[in-house]
Structure 1
């Protein structure tokens, strides 16, 4: 066979790819991540297997904690990766390429001008490059998502379950989850130039700002640093950025919720040590500042138990507390969104539990610590978890998330301008046409930039990890809006009832007069009291109906939770039984083999004993013959000597 024939044979067996490993594997990953025109669609099962093989090849055996049951996608990915066991990286690369070749034999030919050296860092292909980056102020048009053209020598790796906040015209990105690997890096996005700036915590130099007080020779990074985390929250406070909680690896786990503070001018982390009774370590919770207090709600602890508790950290006295609340609080959940408004109200929307995603809206009045469900007009959003939200003026914008079936492609807004005195209003904003868009993801972040009347989206996961930057500018938002304008004070129930009665009184006066009835008219005061009584009864009936509906929902949730647990236990028991039965069958087969061997040995022993008995008989005959020969020899000798002697 000639060299040309061997090369052609190799190309035909490898989809035309002659690259050595690991370059061939990287080319295959590039093909799957960025399918060229004319490529065949990849089934979900194949994509799941390719994901697991990629993780095995690049990270190693799966050592991640099993995701919570309601997250079907992450659970399937975890199970597929775990089943690979201790497979070597080389074998995982080979199987990855083979799986792609079985699906599309000519995949490498479709890559075109593929350059392995350019594709060495796949995180760079997510976003378009430009030599003339423009600031966020120049981005348009309004009322639709626009992918920003960002610059920078390096960019953050794709991720989700990260946290982002706006500080002094810059966005700070902290941590997240990238391919099952928790991160603790810190990146800065300069909004005036749309340029990524790595910090000392992401392999860069000291960020612009005053140097640490200990002098220029201070070794970076300072201690303590933020542990690799995902599902945490960050909030600006004074000149610092507070990182609250988050899921971590086993060696970094804590029994208490940990709060780190990043001094944004010197880029130095410190650990806060408040007193009081802190919440347990949480992930997927929300942390919201109202006044000088940090309100932490929901999330899941280290044992994946969901929480419905509210904890408050006074940032001035540095004391944790768990206040008593009135009214029916939201059910246990995580991956929800929260926002503060008017210096008085805490809003909670959506989230997920073991079996459900929610679409309910709750409000906490921090003045009297009472939970309520506000009257809302418009069509409420569909249930979702893992979504993101940002408050811009009086509008609370919500995008992304999923519902255990598909990603949510609609973007909605809640008008909270009348919160506390009237009705909040849901409205549809826009729908993302491309279901693969980074906006149609879970674990993304939305950050409001009031100075520009804009919302910035980053990251997320929808089968692919993203690191693109998108900007949305609502048509009704004006630059320089302040978040959370003070809302009018809420009226007392008595004054509200009087207000309703007063509004209805003129309407009654304008109605046509009815024919006089035999009974006498009631005095105005009595009529007003009856009206108030009817209003009070109606409100009480509505409240009772709402309570019953919540109790029914809670009962359904509890039943679903128990059913899910029982199903998991049943599956575990069935798997254990199947494993035991397989072990029993193997033991029976082994026992049969041993019995067969034993029987053969017994037969051989019997045959040997029989042969041994025959040998004993032969030895006796041989001994008898020897004696006869000896006797004959002796007789022959005595006869001759006697003849001579005689």
Structure 2
């Protein structure tokens, strides 16, 4: 399939892998995407628990909205799971990011919200969550004054949610799915962007794929009618169901038709022309090839992981041996230290005893010196006395 006329080779109701020239972005999820002038811009996201840094700030769960030639990115969480409520702007002409210096009170830091732009001026943020709190509030940023406000929502009271998807059509903002990590949101909502009034358009029952978190929704025209097409999501399982839709895309989760009266009614797609059996067989064959390729990739990845596990086991054994060796050395050194401490204590005792002996020696020396002085004086006196007697006799 060529890169110039790839759309001419598309088959009815079938997904195909598009040819892409150049280096592909790394695989990811929880990213933001927007189409501008036949170009798809992918912003941020997460891979293997690590947020990607191919935008100004590595993050996931953020929203990205197109305004003229600029992309407006709000919120999300960074690779350390710090929640944010900042606004970054990408100029598509210069491809330069800038941080918007907003005024007034911004929304609480959050991620997995949805956003839209009204009248090419007002960025609107609805719902989302922190790591423990879910929101059903509305915040508006005036992109000319960069001033935040929180208008009161009119209409129906709806439950807080995150991971929902939204798409704007004229003055209507349709929101599908989401949840609060316990229950999926079953309502399809529509907000009048002029009146800021929200209403429940329809409900689904049970564990319907539309009551999922992390799904996407888009709008398209088919045979003069406008449709919303939702794909994917997670509600205890990952969804990629494939109803017999008359859209040129397979594995859609659900689809809704937007009538001219602007009311959104569920459309039975079984009334559309059915796909020929041969086409379905080709689809199944392609899906089989894709599954087999995926299995091979998983097996190769599993083999690599097993090799890494064996390497880790060997490393663990070596480290265990080294630890035991170090522990033995420490035990030997401890015993040696105990012996040295005993020797030091014995030497201290001997030193104390020597000091006592030295004092006794000094005392004996003092006594001996005193005795010697007394003997010397006695000797001198005796000598002097003896000479006087002889002088008397001689005289």
Give the TM-score normalised by structure 2: 0.60
CA distance in 2, matches of 1:415, 1:426: 6
Aligned to 2:308: none
Equivalences for 1:99-110 in 2 at 5 Å?
none
CA distance in 1, matches of 2:289, 2:235: 16
TM-superposition CA deviations, 1:317-343 (whole Å, max 9, x none):
32211111122233111111011112x
**Does the alignment pair 1:354 with 2:181?**
yes
Aligned to 2:30: 161
Aligned to 1:287: 115
1:142 and 1:259, CA in 2 relative to 1: closer, same or farther beyond 3 A? farther
CA distance in 2, matches of 1:348, 1:240: 23
CA distance in 2, matches of 1:370, 1:407: 31
Aligned to 1:151: 21
TM-superposition CA deviations, 1:37-60 (whole Å, max 9, x none):
xxxxxxxxxxxxxxxxxxxxxxxx
Q: Identify the match of residue 232 of structure 2 among 400, 403, 406.
A: 400
2:188–2:203 Cα contact (<8 Å) kept? no
**Does the alignment pair 1:232 with 2:52?**
no
TM-superposition CA deviations, 1:421-440 (whole Å, max 9, x none):
x45334559999659979xx
CA distance in 1, matches of 2:234, 2:228: 19
Q: Tell me the SS of whatever aligns to 2:108.
A: coil
1:435 and 1:183, CA in 2 relative to 1: closer, same or farther beyond 3 A? farther
Relative contact order, higher structure (CA 8 A, sep 6+): 1
Aligned to 2:103: 275
CA distance in 1, matches of 2:232, 2:162: 15
Q: Identify the match of residue 414 of structure 1 among 252, 256, 271.
A: 256
1:333–1:352 Cα contact (<8 Å) kept? yes
1:376 and 1:281, CA in 2 relative to 1: closer, same or farther beyond 3 A? closer
1:366 and 1:419, CA in 2 relative to 1: closer, same or farther beyond 3 A? farther
CA distance in 2, matches of 1:348, 1:435: 34
CA distance in 2, matches of 1:332, 1:354: 11
Can you give the 5+ residue segments of structure 2 that lack an aligned partner in the other structure? Answer: 243-251, 292-297, 302-395
CA distance in 2, matches of 1:178, 1:229: 11
CA distance in 1, matches of 2:180, 2:86: 23
Q: Tell me the SS of whatever aligns to 2:51.
A: strand
Aligned length: 266
1:373 deviation in Å?
1.6
Q: Tell me the SS of whatever aligns to 2:77.
A: coil
Equivalences for 1:191-590 in 2 at 5 Å?
226-250=56-80, 253-254=83-84, 257-291=85-119, 292-301=121-130, 303-342=131-170, 344-374=171-201, 382-393=210-221, 394-410=226-242, 411=252, 412-418=254-260, 420=262, 422-428=263-269
TM-superposition CA deviations, 1:444-497 (whole Å, max 9, x none):
xxxxxxxxxxxxxxxxxx9xx9xxxxxxxxxxxxxxxxxxxxxxxxxxxxxxxx
1:376–1:424 Cα contact (<8 Å) kept? no
TM-superposition CA deviations, 1:138-184 (whole Å, max 9, x none):
341233222112221x2211110011111122111111101111013
1:395 and 1:156, CA in 2 relative to 1: closer, same or farther beyond 3 A? same
Equivalences for 1:64-143 in 2 at 5 Å?
132-143=2-13
CA distance in 1, matches of 2:269, 2:51: 35
CA distance in 1, matches of 2:94, 2:16: 33
CA distance in 1, matches of 2:81, 2:155: 39
Q: Identify the match of residue 54 of structure 2 among 185, 198, 204.
A: 185
1:381 deviation in Å?
5.2
Can you give the 5+ residue segments of structure 1 that lack an aligned partner in the other structure? Answer: 1-129, 187-225, 439-461, 466-646
2:32–2:45 Cα contact (<8 Å) kept? yes
Considering fraction of residues, name the structure with more strand: 2
1:139–1:148 Cα contact (<8 Å) kept? no
1:428 and 1:178, CA in 2 relative to 1: closer, same or farther beyond 3 A? farther
CA distance in 1, matches of 2:123, 2:290: 33
Give the TM-score normalised by structure 1: 0.38
1:382 deviation in Å?
4.5
CA distance in 1, matches of 2:288, 2:149: 43
CA distance in 2, matches of 1:228, 1:391: 29
- The structure that has the greater radius of gyration is 2
1:276 deviation in Å?
2.2
TM-superposition CA deviations, 1:372-414 (whole Å, max 9, x none):
122689x985422111111224211111112113434231221
Q: Tell me the SS of whatever aligns to 1:374.
A: strand
